[in-house]
Structure 1
Amino acid sequence: MRIKLTQFKSQPQIRRRAVRLALALVLGLSIYSNTMAAAPVTQASVPLAALQSFVAVYERIRLQHVEAKTDEELLQLALEGLILKLDPFSSYLDADDMIRLQQDTRGEYSGIGVELVPEGNYIRIITPIDSSPAYRAGIQPGDWITHVQGTAVKGLDVHAINQLMSGEVGTEVALIILRNGEELKFALTREIITTKSVRSELMADNVAYLRISHFQDHTGQDLVEQMERLKLAGADRWLLDLRNNPGGTLAAAAEVADAFLTEGIIVTTKARQRHGNMRFDASSTDPSEGWPLAILINNGSASASEIVAGAIKDHQRGQLVGNTSFGKGSVQSIIALPEGAGVKLTTAYYYTPDGHNIHLKGIEPHLKIDNTSIEDDLQLTSALDLVNFLDAKK
């Protein structure tokens, strides 16, 4: 095969087009900068050499790529590529993705029920959502997705993967998963995933078991309501299960931690721009009554789960049991774009009350316990023993 090398010709028409495109980009940057005027940031001059290179490549693709693309399509691809290279958690969201994000925050969407993160050439499953098709099929935290609907995922971001896996209720999605070197095939039927984020039960010895699967808008309120119900049923200790909880909204995490704390910092965020710095403090009310507390975490506990675990650990309010958490210590903001699209952009890191940034590190439990089998939940058993000891000690 021969590769033909040609020199880019500076034809007047192309030059005029390049100038118009460059001008549009510069004006776009200027307009965006004006919208951020509330945050004083020194604006560097536009790097003209880099901009000229971009325009030259853009024109070459527009004129010579084997498949013709419109300006709108090319600019869309440029936008997606820009965000793709930032970090694993930033992504472009089209109008459908924005709707799905809102549904997820509310707790209902169509899919198979998995939380994902791109790592290397594949997509890692953070956790299957409780009672979802993925959960029932036996998909596990730490599994690697290599193909979706027969398409290799190498080089794709979470946005592209979600597009492949999205579809109407009742339709099927095929996955190829790599687990401990073994290739596994799954055929899952999409359904409405209702992520009721809190469930609870009164266990033996008056232990109030609280399971949070995801942090949604009403998680904090739902948790307190179930705590009140369990107190009336005779509970006098708390066991909070955050295993395989991929996270959710920052405010919900602060509300959950506040249900067990009565003072001090819960979490702070630090961003490049001052208005992105936030601080959440505990209120004096105490739905937990100060009763002994144990929290279950594992490597599927991420983001908002780690905010709660970190706050409880730093304030020495309870004991953590299980495995080291996932280590997602960043905050994503949703930026709305025209025509219903948007960008999920990493804009800050969060810090535990003692000032720890756990990004890519995770939170270490006080008592490290591995679950060796699905049938025998050693982590739960150990947490129950520990919370009973804490009660006796108190």
Structure 2
Amino acid sequence: MRIRLNKISSRLQFSQRIGGLILALVCGALPYTNTLAAVQAKQPPVPLAALESFVAVYERIRLKHVDAKTDEELLQLALEGLILKLDRFSSYLDADEMARLQQDTQGEYTGIGVELVPEGDYIRVITPIDDGPAYRAGILPGDWITHVQGKAVNGLDVHAIDELMTGSAGTEVTLIILRKGETLNFALTREIISTQSVRSELMRSKVGYLRISLFQNHTGQDLVEQMQALKLAGADRWLLDLRNNPGGTLGAAADVADAFLTTGVIVTTKARQASSNMRFDAKAIDPSEGWPLAILINNGSASASEIVAGAIKDHQRGQLVGDTSFGKGSVQSVITLPQGAGVKLTTAYYYTPDGHNIHLKGIQPDIILSNTDAQDDQQLAAALDLLSPLDAEK
């Protein structure tokens, strides 16, 4: 059955209603008008016909929907829908989600330890976090989540999916996962995820192994400290493991790349407004001592991981070993809203030193090699073999 929207009874009523909505939106946006004024001045006015359609639908929903909603609830839904349709990496965050995001960048949050992205009808696993519940259960990068808590994710928005996935420590979440045509069932217990950003060990042939599981605010500093400890232990070459690393903050990625580079561009970003473009350059100080370097990546290496890998590859500072990376070449800015809510908005694309935008493409390793046996880390072995015969003094 097709329902036709009736016109609002009078032009005066429409004008009053639309004026009230616009006034409410403007008043709510006052804290941000100074920063946006220059941008807005250059934009064409909002098309009246489109605005009329919005208000007409808004009025019909407000008056006729079977479940009564307040103006505040409807405007909230409109905001969530607007963000949802922009791109798959932009999202609306309520107060709880904003708190979790802040905890994540600091290194602690409650969950099952997995980075996800909505894609098509399902949720794609970017990567499980090292030693988290998802990792220990055997969830892999590239898995497709079809059901959470017995509910199909098809048709759910990011906010609804997040509500299903999150909960208090000690509670259980069930997942149905599709992997290469096979359906798998998982029951995971949520826990406090304390991510150790960097860990290290001295391997054979004096290889200083550095594992970064997530890029957090302090990752660059932690990396340099671990490098210093490895030097004292006798290391004279580096192996940086960025596999299954979903990314993190842009600044942390630049700091990590800078630990191995002494000159040139690390990464640039290009936003819609030229004034928002950024550029990160390497500093002359060299914690790596110029020693030989290999980097491990796979299809779970995303975002900040790809910034580091791309900078090292373009500057020919080291060799990349593994699988083609995930391909997330966009930058998300977090905008704080009233009452603790926020928006994670895609505001720029980033480019490697040679000007490559790897969004939805990924970075291809110099040595392409996949791990075919879960018990045999062939990628790690290949990287160690690559470094073993090298003379560190050269």
Same fold by TM (over 0.5)? yes
Equivalent residue number for residue 315 of structure 2: 315
Partner deviation per Cα, 1:122-145 (whole Å, 9 max, x = no partner): 100000000000001010000001
Equivalent residue number for residue 248 of structure 2: 248
Take 2:41 and 2:170, find their aligned partners in 1: how far apart are those partners? 50
Equivalent residue number for residue 145 of structure 2: 145
Question: Is 1:267 aligned to 2:267, yes or no?
Answer: yes
Query: 1:91–1:157: 8 Å Cα contact kept in structure 2?
Result: no
Paired amino acid for 1:52: E
Equivalent residue number for residue 35 of structure 2: 35
Equivalent residue number for residue 87 of structure 1: 87
TM-score by length of 1: 0.95
Take 1:92 and 1:236, find their aligned partners in 2: how far apart are those partners? 46
Equivalent residue number for residue 62 of structure 2: 62
Give, in angstroms, the shift of residue 156 of structure 1: 2.9
Equivalent residue number for residue 124 of structure 1: 124
| Paired residues for 1:1-394 under 5 Å | 5=4, 7-10=6-9, 16-25=16-25, 32-37=32-37, 42-391=42-391, 394=394
Query: 1:371–1:377: 8 Å Cα contact kept in structure 2?
Result: yes
Take 1:281 and 1:62, find their aligned partners in 2: how far apart are those partners? 53
Take 2:7 and 2:393, find their aligned partners in 1: how far apart are those partners? 78
Distance 1:192 1:323, change over 3 A: same
Take 1:40 and 1:67, find their aligned partners in 2: how far apart are those partners? 36
Give, in angstroms, the shift of residue 162 of structure 1: 2.0
Query: 1:39–1:275: 8 Å Cα contact kept in structure 2?
Result: no
User: What is the count of residue pairs matched by the alignment?
Assistant: 393
Query: 1:39–1:274: 8 Å Cα contact kept in structure 2?
Result: no
Paired amino acid for 2:192: I
Paired amino acid for 2:236: D
Partner deviation per Cα, 1:89-128 (whole Å, 9 max, x = no partner): 0000110011000000000000000000111011000000
- Runs of 4+ aligned structure 1 residues displaced above 4 Å come to 2-6, 11-15, 25-33, 38-41
Take 2:101 and 2:301, find their aligned partners in 1: how far apart are those partners? 20
Take 1:183 and 1:8, find their aligned partners in 2: how far apart are those partners? 49
Residue 333 of structure 1 aligns to a residue in which SS? strand
User: Please, which moves more after superposition, 2-11 or 294-303?
Assistant: 2-11
Paired amino acid for 1:99: A
Residue 58 of structure 1 aligns to a residue in which SS? helix
Give, in angstroms, the shift of residue 33 of structure 1: 4.7
Q: CA RMSD in A?
A: 1.9
Give, in angstroms, the shift of residue 38 of structure 1: 5.6
User: Please, which moves more after superposition, 12-21 or 168-177?
Assistant: 12-21
Residue 284 of structure 1 aligns to a residue in which SS? coil
Give, in angstroms, the shift of residue 45 of structure 1: 1.1
Give, in angstroms, the shift of residue 24 of structure 1: 3.7
Take 1:289 and 1:211, find their aligned partners in 2: how far apart are those partners? 18
User: Please, which moves more after superposition, 7-16 or 48-57?
Assistant: 7-16
Distance 1:151 1:112, change over 3 A: same
Give, in angstroms, the shift of residue 34 of structure 1: 3.8
Take 2:44 and 2:29, find their aligned partners in 1: how far apart are those partners? 11
Query: 2:291–2:393: 8 Å Cα contact kept in structure 1?
Result: no
Paired amino acid for 2:377: D
Give, in angstroms, the shift of residue 388 of structure 1: 1.7
Distance 1:192 1:30, change over 3 A: closer
Give, in angstroms, the shift of residue 253 of structure 1: 0.3
Residue 389 of structure 1 aligns to a residue in which SS? coil
Paired amino acid for 1:79: L
Distance 1:231 1:38, change over 3 A: farther
Paired amino acid for 2:110: S
Query: 2:113–2:193: 8 Å Cα contact kept in structure 1?
Result: yes
Query: 1:198–1:211: 8 Å Cα contact kept in structure 2?
Result: yes
Query: 2:171–2:189: 8 Å Cα contact kept in structure 1?
Result: yes
Give, in angstroms, the shift of residue 280 of structure 1: 0.6
Query: 1:130–1:213: 8 Å Cα contact kept in structure 2?
Result: yes
Partner deviation per Cα, 1:201-254 (whole Å, 9 max, x = no partner): 001111111000000011000000000000000001100000010000000000
TM-score by length of 2: 0.95
Paired amino acid for 1:88: R
What residue ranges of structure 2 are gaps of 5+ in the alignment? none
